[in-house]
A and B are shown apart, each in its own frame.
Chain A
Amino acid sequence: MSGTSARLWRAAAALLAVGVLAACTDSPAATGTQGASGVLTVTDGASKPFVAVFNPYSPTDSTAAGGMIFEPLYYFDTVDASRVSPWLATAYKWSSDGTSLTFTLRTGVTWTDGQPFTSADVAFTFQQEITNKALNQFNLPLTTVATPDPRTVTLSFSRPEYSDLFFIAGKTLILPKHIWSTVSDPATFANATPVGTGAYEVSSVTPEAMTLTANPHYYQPGMPKFKTVRFISYKDNNASNAALAAGELDWGGNYIPNIQRNYLGKNPNFRMINIPLSVAFLVPNYRTGPTAALPVRQAISAALQRDFISRTVYGGNAPATNPMALLTPNFSNVLDPSLKDEQLPAGDPTQARNILTQAGYKLGSDGIFTDPAGKPLAIQLQVIQPYTDYVQDVQIAQQQLKAAGINVVVDAESAQQFNNNKYNGDFQLLIDNYGYTPSPYSYYDNLLNSALAPKPGVPDLVGNYGGYANSAVDQALATIASTTDQATQKSAFATIEQQFVKDMPLIPLFEQQNEQEFNGNVVAGYPTSDNRYASPAIYMQPDLGWVVMRLAPAHH
């Protein structure tokens, strides 16, 4: 008798204890999270199960690690390149030759295990990159790191490093020395229970959901405002679109077809914010094939009715870009004033035909041009098959170009095949998008720097896949990288923009839509077109962390 009933009693007592504990944690008095409350449920578009890996060196690391858990020294605003805000550091200063950089760190910051954050942590993070090449993610030419006092760090470089400030201060996440110095191989350290300085701590990770809770001792007063942030993984956009429409998700970055009907119409408080971070391009091969000829690139650009594509495929949410492919207002601070009214052609087959005729191309009886050597003008256009919006784009473009006498053969292929061809420069024309950076230098450098172009047998995984080479542009890029003088930089940017318009190394299409959905019944304080304080894109690191701590539960 006694065995069973004793066990029952113990179970009942345990249940009671759990109940009491739960009651304690639920009561506001027991929380130290400065009044943080509510649950924010989001999807960052991660399509695979979550694993407990919070290692900033891992290329497949969780989005939350960059910004929400670990923080950089500065925040570089992807939607406004002129804005750089203090994060873990409060000031920085270059030496006169740009080979050393001194940061003054914020005071009163602690790691989530209670240890103080000091210059030793920053020094350790950068020192690790010097000693272990595999951890030097951004290939920084670091030589030495010095810590004159607990609030000051000086980094030294083997060459002037102005142009890498974004990678040094904006992308490098600072790690706690007292934890990471004991790790034998930082490259393969899962760091399942991370200690960071960020506004959130990891509470649980299951394959389907990653739950973070507010750091009760966060150093920014009144932040974060949401007590719990839960990331949900979906294997397919259909499933996450349905969850967004059902109000199960409060923030998502999905592209939802016919968003008015499929999302916005479902609830009066559902909102869509679209602040583009990149430009979609047709990328021509600049060195070989039909697109190596400028008149062909110009004719393609002249024949494309971009507005029609944007309206048909994106419901008008892919705004027009300019012939310099300069995102505005994101990069307006480096816009050449003489180019500010330049527009891309509206799309006219006659104009395209005139360009080709003047260049010596002949219109055949089949309505397709032949080049001056007598070869029919046929261009292979590569696109990633699963990117259905791009497949639609190129199918419409194909018809528009056909009307102008240019025969385009669409080649829809797997992402692997596409990337492999792109990185090896093995294409005539492909559709892709570039941007997602707060640095206009980085943007143009990736697109145009001739040193990056793929060489035979040496793929290029950074940019300029078409093999553009223009010494004036290379020179201008070098100038920007060698100074902090804004006037000099601006005139160099003007050179790049003018050369871009003249040579058309890439054919800009439009600004890539960046639709972000917010459930206004649950969340407030997100960036909007009127209040562009940061990028609202949930997949951007560390921007995500900057935005999340500013989001607040909605009150109705």
Chain B
Amino acid sequence: MRYVLRKLGFYAIAAWLAITLNFLLPRLIPGDPVEQLMARMSQAGSVAPGEADTLRQLLGLGHGNGLQQYLGYLHQLVTLRFGMSITYFPVPVTTIIGQEIYWTVILVGVALVISVGLGLALGAVAGWRRGSRLDAGVPLAMLFSAMPYFWVALLLVYVFAQRLHLFPLSGGYDPALVPGWHAAFVATAVRHAILPAATIVISSVGTWMFGMRNMMVSTLSEDYVVAAQAKGLRPGKVMWGYAARNAVIPSVSGFAISLGFVVSGALAMEIVFSYPGIGYNLLAAVQNDDYPLMQGIFLVITLAVLAANLLVDLLHGFLDPRTRASR
């Protein structure tokens, strides 16, 4: 219990630090939102002298000094009111995040699970059958991981969408449809999701496979594996029940942390496929000096990563008593 409390205390401090950084970092970007808005407006019709001051009033910017703004920000967090986005003025930040996060969580989350599942299974088999043809495939999978991720995406678009016309070029769904839980929409959403998901899987499966394969190899030389084989257990039982089960432990924490980062989206994929998601909105928020939206997204990412870490910490405490004992 003391262990859990101490962990929770540590996470509370980490959360406070992260939240404070979320406040400070956006303000280190040069300029302010009005400058970015005016720069854009001057390219779509002339701007009038005095327009900037009116905008500042309209957006309700520039109230109070830094400390007052910080206290206001903490108050917003506690009351769960993040204010209005500037990029999408006057839409509340929560609406924007709510609208985009489903796409990210579903697509990136499912792709991660597929990638991890596939990578670990293939890695286990490759490690079990060292020197086999599958084992020779590990460097190939690593090659895909080493390739620039957006380039893999562009390649997929070129081959499967532009040349073969098997999949749509871009977007998350048929623009003629209104999103909702009906068959036509789900079908188009799935069709649009295949290439983006494939990008994520192709470019990340190698890393999981490589790690698992190597852990598998070192686990296989452990005495208890030799003992199990000597007992005459079936190879499948030894492979999955004895070797893979222990080899997978380091990957579990890697998986949990990746799970936390799922909510930050997959920027390159979103850009190449014009796919809905959080990553691009964060980029847009940064480019527009949109402090409220940036803070909202950072907060979601921070909390998700912290929660994933906490989960792993606690799980490890139960799974592996050695990590629990500090004395």
Contact = CB atoms under 8 A, between A and B. Distances in A.
Given A51-B91, A235-B270, A420-B35, A187 B58 contact: yes
Interface string A188-211: 111000000000000010111101
B94 interface: no
B51 A461 contact: yes
A236 B46 contact: no
B51 A139 contact: yes
B37 interface: yes
Interface stretch (B13-21, B169-177, B253-261): B169-177
Interface residues of B, number: 64
Contacts of B162: 242, 246
A348 interface: no
Interface in A223-239: 230, 232-236, 238-239
B58 A135 contact: yes
Interface in A270-310: 278
B36 interface: yes
A417 interface: yes
A55 B177 CA distance: 24
Interface in B46-65: 46-55, 57-59
Contacts of A443: 46
B99 interface: yes
Interface string B164-194: 0000011111011111000000000000000
A137 B30 contact: no
Contacts of A243: 169-170
B23 interface: no
B47 A164 contact: no
Interface string B142-163: 0000000000001001000110
B89 A134 contact: no
Interface in B71-107: 84, 86-91, 95-96, 99-100
A59 B35 CA distance: 12
B209 interface: no
B5 interface: no
B311 interface: no
Contacts of A471: none
A417 B181 CA distance: 44
Given A235-B280, A461-B35, A206 B84 contact: no
B232 interface: no
A10 to B, nearest CB: 17
B284 to A, nearest CB: 5
A139 B50 contact: yes
A60 B89 contact: yes
A461 B44 contact: no
Nearest to B165: A246
B89 A234 contact: no
Contact of A242 (B36, B37, B54, B157): B157
Q: Which of A48, A248, A414, A540 has most chain B Cβ within 10 Å?
A: A48
Categorize the interface residue count of chain A.
35 or more
B115 interface: no
Contacts of B54: 133-137, 139
Contacts of A13: none
Contact of A208 (B39, B84, B271, B276): B276
B52 A461 contact: yes
Nearest to B192: A208
A49 interface: yes
A239 B36 contact: no
B304 to A, nearest CB: 21
A232 B175 contact: yes
Interface string B7-38: 00000000000000000000001110011111
A55 B90 contact: yes
A420 B47 CA distance: 17
Contacts of A417: 30-31
B323 interface: no
A416 B294 CA distance: 15
A49 B100 contact: yes
A417 B39 CA distance: 12
B264 interface: no
Contacts of B31: 416-417, 419-420, 423
B221 interface: no
Contacts of B69: none
Interface of A: 41, 47-49, 51, 53, 55, 57-60, 63, 133-139, 164, 166-167, 171, 187-190, 204, 206-209, 211, 230, 232-236, 238-240, 242-243, 246, 248, 278, 414-417, 419-420, 423, 433-434, 436-437, 439, 442-443, 446, 451-452, 459, 461-463, 539-541
Interface of B: 29-31, 34-39, 41-55, 57-59, 84, 86-91, 95-96, 99-100, 154, 157, 161-162, 169-173, 175-179, 270-276, 280-281, 284, 287, 289
28 contacts: A48-B88, A51-B91, A57-B58, A59-B55, A59-B89, A60-B37, A60-B86, A60-B89, A63-B44, A134-B54, A135-B54, A137-B54, A139-B54, A167-B48, A187-B90, A206-B173, A206-B179, A207-B179, A234-B170, A236-B272, A236-B274, A248-B169, A415-B39, A446-B42, A461-B47, A461-B51, A462-B42, A539-B44
